[in-house]
Copies of this chain bind each other. A is one copy, B any other.
Amino acid sequence: MCSASGGIELSMQQTDSAARQAPALQCTQWLNCQQALTLADLRGQVVVVEAFQMLCPGCVQHSLPQAQRVHNYFHDLGVQVIGLHSVFEHHAAQTEVALRAFVHENRLQFPIAIDAVAESGALPLTMAVYGMQGTPTCVLIDRCGRRRAQHFGTVADLQLAAEITSLLLETDSA
């Protein structure tokens, strides 16, 4: 039912569905939504997780406007965009209250989660378990909850839309 045959070749082709299950999001707060979202609850939808930091210029200039465009075009087609504020530097600056102001001023309309801070001061928990190298990082999760692509840095709209669409259409063929 959740085969991943055909479609655009993504960076993480499934070989072992159990191993490829996307790790749970470990978040402490959610903005722009009534209650916490979980990947388990989102099963059946394609999920786009855009990890960012509010003071990361590449995120502000490229990835967050792109995430908003993806939300605008794909939301009604069955795609859930989630912003993930994964702070690994400038902790005193990139606080929750600052993030809330940032989201308001930039008119971001998709749900945004705050990645859980590690006790040791290391990478935040979701960022660490996903093995992200920095921000921006865009993760694509299929309708069956498997991580299928992970892009560090910028991705062109054409490629991102092709990959999302490919995942969207998998259930039709499975």
Check A56 for interface membership: any CB of B closer than 8 A: yes
Q: What is the interface of chain A mostly: helix, strand, loop, or mixed?
A: helix
Q: How many Å from the CB of A102 to the closest CB on chain B?
A: 6
Instruction: Pick the contact of A165: B70, B73, B106, B166 (CB < 8 A).
Output: B166
Which A residues from 80 to 136 make CB contacts under 8 A with B? Answer: 89-90, 92-95, 97-102, 105-106
Would you call B69 and A156 a contact (CB within 8 A)? yes
Would you call B157 and A57 a contact (CB within 8 A)? no
Known pairs A6-B172, A93-B97; A161 contacts B157 (CB<8 A): yes
Q: How many Å from the CB of A170 to the closest CB on chain B?
A: 9
Known pairs A161-B157, A166-B169; A97 contacts B92 (CB<8 A): yes
Contacts of A8 in B (CB 8 A): 77, 165, 168
A: residues with CB less than 8 A from B are 5-8, 55-57, 60-61, 69-70, 73-74, 77, 89-90, 92-95, 97-102, 105-106, 156-162, 164-166, 168-169, 172-173
